[in-house]
Amino acid sequence: MAAALGQSQDYRVLRRLIPRSITTSPVDQAVKTGILLDVETTGLDLQKDEIIELGMVKFDYVGDGRIVGVRDVFASFNEPSIPIPAEVTSLTGITDEMVAGHRIDASAVESFVQDAVIVIAHNAAFDRKFAERFWSVFEHKAWGCSATEVEWRRHGFAGAQLGYLLNGAGFFHHAHRAVDDCHALVEILSVELAPAGAPALAVLLEQARKKTIRVWAEQSPFELKDILKRRGYRWSDGSDGRPRSWYIDVGETAAESEIAFLRTEIFLRDEPRLQTLTAFTRFSRRL
């Protein structure tokens, strides 16, 4: 019945996501190892909030971006120093009782991650900062973001939200655990993207390898903030050690035009501060 519906133009079939079994990669293929990571926390504040769950799926992939096997899975709760806020429990399903007495083993995390050449999260700007705060091994890894480093809408998806992407890949799940979202990413990154003629993972890796330039519009006039927002600039309030300023990340080739925009439209007194970002520094709390 599902096969018949799937061949119809009037129906779409969604199948329950069943995590892939742990397998050994074929010995006749040259593979690289990646990590899919997700953290759940007591809140969004990097300085005071804590991780309450860490989920990771270790996978092997080949040169063309095809995932050829899941090698291992890591899932662990962590009891925070404060009660889990009610809104976090409502969102994640994680309660104080579930995490009571649990600690994430730092040596086990380091051992699990050590041989990976890239760590991918669906919101790397959030997950990387928390992961680096608790485990230094993540500071030395290349990172990719499955939410922002693939132009999902251009490839026919309704948006970059994990549920949309999973449905677009032909699956659904009702899971709330961090590791379940990692299993979902395995299937999402395995989807062939028609315009690219390649798996989503290949598109992500190509983008992650590129350098980007962070342009800071420091001391820009307050009354011009809406112009900056419309152009895609984001605000840094300076609380994490970064400048208190608007900024934008652009490709290397677009940096000069961005500087020209600031000179003509924002009238900065000084040359804008520039930072070159790579997969090893992008999304990091050390910037």
Q: Residue 239's pLDDT is what?
A: 80
pLDDT band at 24 (very low <50, low <70, confident <90, very high): confident
pLDDT for residue 265 is more than 90: yes
pLDDT in tens, 198-219: 999 999 999 999 999 999 999 9
Please choose, from the candidates 114, 125, 112, 103, the residue with its C-alpha nearest in 3D space to the C-alpha of residue 56: 112
pLDDT for residue 252 is more than 80: yes
Give the separation between CA 169 and CA 82, rounded to whole angstroms: 38
Give the separation between CA 146 and CA 159, rounded to whole angstroms: 12
Number of CB atoms found within 10 A of residue 223's CB: 7
The tokens describing 76, both together, are: 């662990």
Cα 276–Cα 43–Cα 235 angle in degrees, nearest 5: 40
pLDDT in tens, 62-117: 999 999 999 999 999 999 999 999 999 999 999 999 999 999 999 999 999 999 99
Q: Which helix (H) or strand (E) holds 89?
A: helix 86-92
Q: Where do the DSSP E strands lie in the chain?
A: 15-16, 32-41, 51-61, 67-77, 118-121, 142-145, 171-172, 192-193, 198-199, 212-217, 234-237, 244-251, 273-277
Give the separation between CA 16 and CA 58, rounded to whole angstroms: 21
The reported pTM is 0.91
Pairing status of strand 198-199 against strand 212-217: unpaired
Question: 3-class secondary structure for 169-220?
Answer: CCEECCCCCHHHHHHHHHHHHHCEECCCCEEHHHHHHHHHCCCEEEEEECCC
